[in-house]
Amino acid sequence: MSHSYITLNQINTLPHAEAAALLTGLYEHSDWIAAQALDARPFASAAALKHAMVKVLEKAGRAPQLALVRAHPELAGKAMVSKSLTAESTHEQTKAGLTHCTPEEFAHIQQLNASYNAKFGFPFILAVRGPRGSGLNKQQIISTFERRLHNHPDYELAECLRNIHRIVEIRLNDKLGYEPALGHEVWDWHEWLAQFSDAGLANKRAPHAAREELTVTYLTDAHLKCARTIELGMKACGFDDVRIDAVGNVVGIYKAAQTNTASKAKTLMTGSHYDTVRNGGKYDGRLGIFVPMACVRELARAGQRLPFNLEVVAFAEEEGQRYKATFLGSGALVGDFKNEWLDQKDAEGVTMRQAMKQAGLKIEDIPKLTRNPAEYLGFVEVHIEQGPVLNELDIPLGIVTSINGSVRFVGEVMGMASHAGTTPMDRRRDAATAVAELTLYVEKSAAELNAVSADTAGKPTSACVGTVGMLAVPNGSINVVPGRCQFSLDLRATTDALRDSLMHDVVNELKAICERRGLHYTLEETMRASAAPSDAKLQTLWEHAVQSLGVPVFHLPSGAGHDAMKLHEVMPQAMLFVRGQNAGISHNPLESTTSDDMQLAIDAFMHLLHHLRA
Ligand code: HGY
Ligand code: MN
Ligand code: MN
């Protein structure tokens, strides 16, 4: 059956009523949204039309938004049973297998529908075709339903609307006969790489951890398999030279066009990291490797060369999980590999030197990795936002203005272990309560600094953040007052001055708490990175690239640290953020981004490559 697709040109040029007729069925029983969006035509792209519809609904206000949500059928609900679903919903719910539930699944979903409706007053809405458009399975749908039942009503209304916009995005793609083909491939590459995980490390801490935990730490078996997989992937994409360097970075070069000028072509570096935090997400770092790889493959297939070399680096270690060696991979390229890292031991007592030797890495070659900045045009990095901003604004891409500065510590408070039953409350030297006090102080101090740096509307900013991410009583017992308590500090801010002010605040308070409680402590700084403002020229290239896609140009700082802040020490850099799903959550298995958004990142990257002047 030949399918008659519509075109953007028809949407842009047909008389209003005819154009609107082409867009019926996008928003369930609510064609007024697409019709109203046509007032903003002509649209530079489908992405621009999608965003125009988002804006129409945003401007409409809460009552029409609630009416739209309530116009949707429940999942595997009454409308499905009575076969009164719209054609689109029938297709979507059938594809997700919801029309073939077991009696138990069906009853469970009915129960979830009833509880969700009772709590929120509107039906649960999920884009069941999922982040890749090929469909979630019933188990994924049910676990998402169960998880979202616990959210706040305001969040859930917004999340239902975001899912509706995702449903509309896929329905519009279908109408246009459009597939984000490269986005699908890159999305699948993440799935492929995520098969490798340090099951051992993760399961040691949580014996019954679900198999799908993703933990890839420096030079473990899983990490080495990832390096090999990326190396083979780069070779398949057509890179001219691919190698794994002395610290485990996978480096691919796509050479510049041959010219008869004697001058050597400069190089644009790009990339990100392939290691993960424990029980992390699939896209943190990896997206910034796969997007440029996809671009090189398209260039190679077209026989196209750039006026500069493109060097794509999959950095081996950014998260500092197995060893306290954050940014090891990118640090080695800027001449900042710290030799004292080699003698650090991991949780199993294996030194980094031993791990490197076992991995076949030549430690003596590490100094040779230092790049000569004069040979480079700069560094660009694509990365998931790892936060809620783009997700809440329904904007697929963001221009990073600066990366927050950060400083990290690991520490231990020491007191006296004693009997939990016989030690009076005023005679204790309890290390855990001291760290608990410090943890609450970190939260208070960061909040106070944000209030002081409030924006023009007086709203506290998130100019600084403080986290105690690790907190443990070694060999603790239920009936022993903790004599020791280990902890970590992660302090960040938009400027180094603000970061240092928070740091001095917190360290002074640690001192005061320990004096007051008769305890002592150790504190070791494990990482310090300066705030890294984006290079204006490279940032402008990202802005033009995003603009060319018909996507709003939105600027935001990066709360997360990135390899770009290491390269920032020696060359100009700028980053592009890609929206995350699930409120942009990251460092969590719920980390997610769509193949449509990945396609936009690839298109933006390709635009930058073709507009960067060597
Ligand atoms: O912690 C960070 O900001 C980064 O994900 N390593
Ligand atoms: Mn990370
Ligand atoms: Mn990262």
Q: Is 40 helix (H, G, I), strand (E, B) or coil?
A: helix
Residue 59 domain flag: yes
| Residue 226: φ, ψ to 5° | -65, -45
- Smallest-distance ligand from the CA of 276: 2
Q: What is the CATH number of the domain that holds 490?
A: 3.30.70.360
Instruction: Tell me, in angstroms, the distance from the centre of ligand 2 to residue 164's CA.
Output: 29
What's the rounded mean pLDDT across residues 67-78?
A: 87
Last residue in a domain, options 527, 542, 571: 527
Residue 101's pLDDT is what? 81
Residue 211's pLDDT is what? 52
Which of 278, 319, 470 gets mutated to test ligand 1 (max ligand atoms within 8 A of its CB)? 319
Say how many C-beta atoms besides its own lie within 10 A of residue 350's C-beta: 16
CB 570 within 8 A of CB 375: no
Query: In the predicted model, is pLDDT for residue 202 greater than 50?
Result: no
Last residue in a domain, options 176, 206, 241: 176
53, 91: one domain: yes
Residue 324 domain flag: yes
CA-nearest residue for atom 6, ligand 1, is 319
Asked if residue 565 has its Cβ within 6 Å of ligand 1, the reply is no
Residue 205's pLDDT is what? 44
Asked if residue 559 has its Cβ within 6 Å of ligand 1, the reply is no
Q: Is 384 helix (H, G, I), strand (E, B) or coil?
A: strand
Which of 318, 323, 462 gets mutated to test ligand 1 (max ligand atoms within 8 A of its CB)? 318
Instruction: Tell me, in angstroms, the distance from the centre of ligand 3 to residue 273's CA.
Output: 6
Q: What is the CATH number of the domain that holds 133?
A: 1.10.3330.10
Residue 90's pLDDT is what? 79
Query: In the predicted model, is pLDDT for residue 176 greater than 70?
Result: yes
Residue 181 domain flag: no
Instruction: Tell me, in angstroms, the distance from the centre of ligand 3 to residue 562's CA.
Output: 6
Binned at pLDDT 50, 70 and 90, residue 208 comes out as: very low
pLDDT per residue over 451-510, tens digit each?
887 776 667 677 899 999 999 999 999 999 999 999 999 999 999 999 999 999 999 999
Which of 587, 588, 591 gets mutated to test ligand 1 (max ligand atoms within 8 A of its CB)? 587
Least confidently predicted of 213-222, 257-266, 302-311, 548-557: 257-266
What's the rounded mean pLDDT across residues 501-530?
A: 97
369, 250: one domain: yes
CB 344 within 8 A of CB 321: no
Binned at pLDDT 50, 70 and 90, residue 210 comes out as: very low
38, 167: one domain: yes
**Which residues are bridge partners to 533 per DSSP?**
402
Least confidently predicted of 34-38, 91-95, 109-113, 339-343: 91-95
303, 444: one domain: no
Asked if residue 317 has its Cβ within 6 Å of ligand 1, the reply is no
d(CA 532, CA 401): 9
Last residue in a domain, options 120, 143, 176: 176
Residue 206's pLDDT is what? 45
pLDDT per residue over 9-24, tens digit each?
999 999 999 999 999 9
Instruction: Tell me, in angstroms, the distance from the centre of ligand 1 to residue 216's CA.
Output: 14
Please give the span between the terminal C-alpha atoms of the chain, in angstroms, as a whole number.
49
149, 190: one domain: no
Instruction: Tell me, in angstroms, the distance from the centre of ligand 2 to residue 591's CA.
Output: 11
Binned at pLDDT 50, 70 and 90, residue 209 comes out as: very low
The amino acid that residue 28 corresponds to is E
Please name the residues in contact with 205: beta carbons below 8 A apart, sequence gap of 6 or more.
278
d(CA 494, CA 556): 11
Query: In the predicted model, is pLDDT for residue 373 greater than 80?
Result: yes
Using a 10 angstrom Cβ sphere, with 0-12 exposed, 13-18 middle and 19 or more buried, the burial of residue 578 is: buried
Please name the residues in contact with 172: beta carbons below 8 A apart, sequence gap of 6 or more.
23, 26, 46, 49, 50, 178
Say how many C-beta atoms besides its own lie within 10 A of residue 409's C-beta: 22
Residue 343's pLDDT is what? 98
410, 438: one domain: yes
38, 170: one domain: yes
Pairing of strands 532-533, 241-244: unpaired
Q: What is the CATH number of the domain that holds 228?
A: 3.40.630.10
Least confidently predicted of 207-211, 228-232, 358-362, 392-396: 207-211
Least confidently predicted of 8-22, 46-60, 103-117, 348-362: 103-117
Residue 392's pLDDT is what? 96
Binned at pLDDT 50, 70 and 90, residue 2 comes out as: low
Residue 590 domain flag: yes
522, 542: one domain: no
Residue 240 domain flag: yes
Which ligand 1 atom minimizes the distance to the CA of 273?
A: 6
What's the rounded mean pLDDT across residues 245-265?
A: 91
The boundaries of the domain holding residue 122 are 8-176
| Residue 41: φ, ψ to 5° | -70, 155
Residue 275 domain flag: yes
The amino acid that residue 516 corresponds to is R
Q: Tell me the Ramachandran region of residue 583: left when phi exceeds 0, alpha when psi lies from -120 to 50, beta otherwise.
A: left
Residue 588 domain flag: yes
132, 161: one domain: yes
Residue 78 domain flag: yes
Query: In the predicted model, is pLDDT for residue 614 greater than 90?
Result: no
* H or E stretch covering 419: strand 418-419
Asked if residue 74 has its Cβ within 6 Å of ligand 1, the reply is no
Instruction: Tell me, in angstroms, the distance from the centre of ligand 2 to residue 277's CA.
Output: 6
Which ligand 1 atom minimizes the distance to the CA of 587?
A: 5
Instruction: Tell me, in angstroms, the distance from the centre of ligand 3 to residue 383's CA.
Output: 7
Which ligand 1 atom minimizes the distance to the CA of 490?
A: 1
Asked if residue 319 has its Cβ within 6 Å of ligand 1, the reply is yes
Residue 460's pLDDT is what? 67
Instruction: Tell me, in angstroms, the distance from the centre of ligand 3 to residue 563's CA.
Output: 8
266, 158: one domain: no
Query: In the predicted model, is pLDDT for residue 123 greater than 50?
Result: yes
415, 395: one domain: no
Q: How far is CA 359 from CA 221, 228, 285, 366, 535, in A?
A: 9, 12, 22, 14, 36
Domain count, the chain: 3
Q: Does the N-terminal peptide bond of residue 64 adopt cis geometry, omega within 30 degrees of 0? A: no
Using a 10 angstrom Cβ sphere, with 0-12 exposed, 13-18 middle and 19 or more buried, the burial of residue 495 is: middle
Pairing of strands 376-384, 573-578: parallel
Residue 426 corresponds to which tokens in the numbers above? Answer: 């005023």
Asked if residue 561 has its Cβ within 6 Å of ligand 1, the reply is yes
d(CA 577, CA 239): 25
Least confidently predicted of 1-10, 75-84, 151-160: 75-84
CB 181 within 8 A of CB 66: no
Q: What is the mean pLDDT of the chain?
A: 94
Could you say which DSSP state residue 135 is in?
A: -
Q: How far is CA 602 from CA 25, 284, 348, in A?
A: 29, 16, 40
Residue 168 corresponds to which tokens in the numbers above? Answer: 């509309």
d(CA 401, CA 368): 32
Residue 391's pLDDT is what? 97
258, 327: one domain: yes
CB 449 within 8 A of CB 501: yes
